[in-house]
């Protein structure tokens, strides 16, 4: 009985050992297969880490101002008898804008001219008599004074008549009409705004430490949300002679080369503008396309495309890096970023010139992934991208 139980127990142990051996072999085979398994290579485009010379700029916020701008007003009281503008049109210097009623002044001018004619005739007679020693010098002086007073009276009325012909003081663009036909205008009443908007000025402020870097003639670039697809170029034409004691900034004025194309006035006085002053000095930078950056809260990184490193004892846990058809692997590298310009970003730490990084398709990469480089569907980054040609 005991012998039978022992044989049964040994048989059971033998069966368990055989099963355990089979499972061990199966698990070993699965582990070996997993280690030997290689994911298909990830297809990406590549870009070289380049060094470039970037211009140095000063950024500021500015306000646009017309080269010339006034509100046309009435110089003398009078009723509007004629309006020669509708508002919004371009006018030349000297164009007649408004005529005021002149009936009273015209009548007074006729009477004044008659008085002037009489005074001049009287002066002529007195002058002849004075040469003949018939009248005294006092009578001649009195006749000359009367003629001068009559002439001044005519000039005064003529000046009033001229002021009732309201002209454009310079060429420009009219704003909204502020008066109507038949309206009685008092002295100083606004009639219409007149602005010369080409060229356009832009006023902005810079910190006092920038004074040593700027001078008249430096180029500027101006952009505004009102015309998002255009950049306006100009030059600094004036720098204020004092620094604001409250803000410690200095006011600068630049003149734009062209603010209008034909009748298309893109810029208007009072607009908000972003200004860049382009300094003559440049600085070397290491740059990569923005699409090469994997942005994350714990740090920004790029994927360097290179041959996988040789395995070592200090290698981190996990599957070893894999190589694609060209023998390349994606190796994640954390970087520090600087200024952005166009489609590029400056890398201040983490990369060297000449390294090859993934350009498009970074979101699907992982550290150590096999890489297959292609040029199909590649984008062409630019420092001055044009949205219309994208």
In a domain, 364, yes or no: yes
- 146-184: per-residue pLDDT in tens? 888 889 998 888 888 888 899 999 998 899 999 999 888
pLDDT over 90 (residue 38): no
Could you list the residue range(s) of the whole structural domain that residue 372 is in? Answer: 40-53+284-385
Least confident of 29-33, 39-43, 97-101, 233-237: 29-33
In a domain, 378, yes or no: yes
In a domain, 126, yes or no: yes
Higher pLDDT, 384 or 324: 384
Give the chain's radius of gyration (CA, Å).
44
Contact predicate 357/351, CB 8 Å? yes
| Mean confidence (pLDDT) of the chain | 84
- 219-263: per-residue pLDDT in tens? 999 999 888 878 899 999 999 999 999 999 999 999 998 755 545
- 74-131: per-residue pLDDT in tens? 988 989 999 999 988 889 999 999 999 888 888 888 888 888 888 888 888 888 887 8
In a domain, 107, yes or no: yes
In a domain, 1, yes or no: no
Contact predicate 150/119, CB 8 Å? yes
What is the maximum alpha-carbon separation in the chain?
A: 184
In this prediction the pTM is 0.65
CA separation for the pair 285, 340 (Å, rounded): 11
Phi, psi (5° rounding) for residue 315? -65, 145
Number of domains in the chain: 2
pLDDT over 90 (residue 207): yes
In a domain, 263, yes or no: no
Q: What is the CATH number of the domain that holds 144?
A: 1.10.287.470
- 323-370: per-residue pLDDT in tens? 667 678 888 899 999 988 888 999 999 999 999 998 887 888 888 888
Of 119, 140, 163, the one marking the end of a domain is 163
Question: Is residue 321 packed enough to be buried (19+ CB in 10 Å), middle (13-18) or exposed (0-12)?
Answer: buried
Higher pLDDT, 332 or 13: 332
In a domain, 116, yes or no: yes
In a domain, 342, yes or no: yes
């Amino acid at each position: 009985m005991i012998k039978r139980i022992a044989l049964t127990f040994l048989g059971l142990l033998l069966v368990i050992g055989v099963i355990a051996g089979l499972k061990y072999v199966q698990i070993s085979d699965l582990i070996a297969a997993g280690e030997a398994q290689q994911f298909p290579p990830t297809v990406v485009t590549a870009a070289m880490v380049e060094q470039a010379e970037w211009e140095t700029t000063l950024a500021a916020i500015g306000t646009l101002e017309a080269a010339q701008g006034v509100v046309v007003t009435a110089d003398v009281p009078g009723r509007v008898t004629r309006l020669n503008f509708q508002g919004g049109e371009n006018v030349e210097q000297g164009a007649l804008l408004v005529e005021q009623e002149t009936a009273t002044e015209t009548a007074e001018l006729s009477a004044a001219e008659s008085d002037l004619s009489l005074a001049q005739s009287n002066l002529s007679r007195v002058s002849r008599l004075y040469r003949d020693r018939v009248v005294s010098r006092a009578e001649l002086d009195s006749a000359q004074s009367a003629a001068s007073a009559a002439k001044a009276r005519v000039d005064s009325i003529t000046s009033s008549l001229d002021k009732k012909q309201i002209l454009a003081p310079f060429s420009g663009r009219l704003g909204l009409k502020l008066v109507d036909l038949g309206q009685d205008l008092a002295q100083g009443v606004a009639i219409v705004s007149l602005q010369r908007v080409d060229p356009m000025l832009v006023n902005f402020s810079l910190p006092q430490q920038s004074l040593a870097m700027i001078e008249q003639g430096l180029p500027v670039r101006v952009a505004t949300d009102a015309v998002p697809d255009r950049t306006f170029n100009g030059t600094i034409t004036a720098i204020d002679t004092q620094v604001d004691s409250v803000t410690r900034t200095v006011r600068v004025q630049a003149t734009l080369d062209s603010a209008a194309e034909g009748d298309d006035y893109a810029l208007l006085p009072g607009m908000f503008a972003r200004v860049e002053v382009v300094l003559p000095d440049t600085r070397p930078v290491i740059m990569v396309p923005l699409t090469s950056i994997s942005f994350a809260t714990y740090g920004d990184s790029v994927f360097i495309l290179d041959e996988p490193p040789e395995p070592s004892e200090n290698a981190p846990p996990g599957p070893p890096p894999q190589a694609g058809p060209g023998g390349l692997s994606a190796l994640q590298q954390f970087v520090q970023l600087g200024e952005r310009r166009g489609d590029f970003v400056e890398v201040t730490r983490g990369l060297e010139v000449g390294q090859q990084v993934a350009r498009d398709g970074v979101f699907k990469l992982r550290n150590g992934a096999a890489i297959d480089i292609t040029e199909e569907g590649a984008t062409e980054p630019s420092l001055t991208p044009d949205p219309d040609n994208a």
